[in-house]
Amino acid sequence: MRRRVLTGVSAAAAAGIGVTATMAVHAEAAWTTAWNVSASGWTGADSPQVSVDRQGDALLAWTAGDLSTTYSYQRVQTRVKFADGTTGPIRTLSPDGAAVAWPETDSDDTGDSAVVWEQDSEVVGRRVSSSGSLVGPLQKLSTSAPASTPVVAVTPGGNAMAAWTEVRDGSWYAVARRIQIDGTVGAAVTLGSGSAEKPAIGVDRGGQFVVAWARASDVVARRITTTSVSPTKVLTSSIASYGGFGMVRAGVDRDGDAVLTYRSGGGTVPQVWASRWSRTGTLAAPLRISAATDNAGFHHALATDLAGNSMIVWTRHGNGRLELLGRRLTAGGTRGAVAALGPGDRPDLALDDDGDGMLVHHTVVPKSTPPYSYTKTTARLISRAGAFGTVRTLTSDGRVPQVGASPSYRFTVVWQQESFPYTIKSVAGP
Residue-level pLDDT, tens digit, the chain, 430 residues: 333 222 233 333 333 333 333 344 444 458 999 999 999 999 999 999 999 999 999 999 999 999 998 888 899 999 999 999 999 999 999 999 999 999 999 999 999 999 999 999 999 999 999 999 999 999 999 999 999 999 999 999 999 999 999 999 999 999 999 999 999 999 999 999 999 999 999 999 999 999 999 998 999 999 999 999 999 999 998 887 767 899 999 999 999 999 999 999 866 789 999 999 999 999 999 999 999 999 999 999 999 999 999 999 999 998 888 999 999 999 999 999 999 999 999 999 999 999 999 999 999 999 888 888 999 999 999 999 999 999 999 999 999 999 999 999 899 999 999 999 999 999 999 9
Please identify, in words, the CATH class of the domain defined by 48-196.
Answer: mainly beta
Task: Identify whether the C-beta of residue 409 lies closer than 8 Å to the C-beta of residue 52.
Answer: no
Measured CA to CA, the distance from residue 311 to residue 335 in angstroms comes to 10
| Residue ranges covered by each domain of the chain | 48-196
Q: For residue 1, which of 331, 309, 354, 349 has the smallest C-alpha distance?
A: 354
Looking at residue 320, its pLDDT comes to 82
Measured CA to CA, the distance from residue 53 to residue 404 in angstroms comes to 9
Cα–Cα distances (Å) from 9 to 14, 258, 320, 365, 381, in that order, read 8, 36, 39, 32, 16
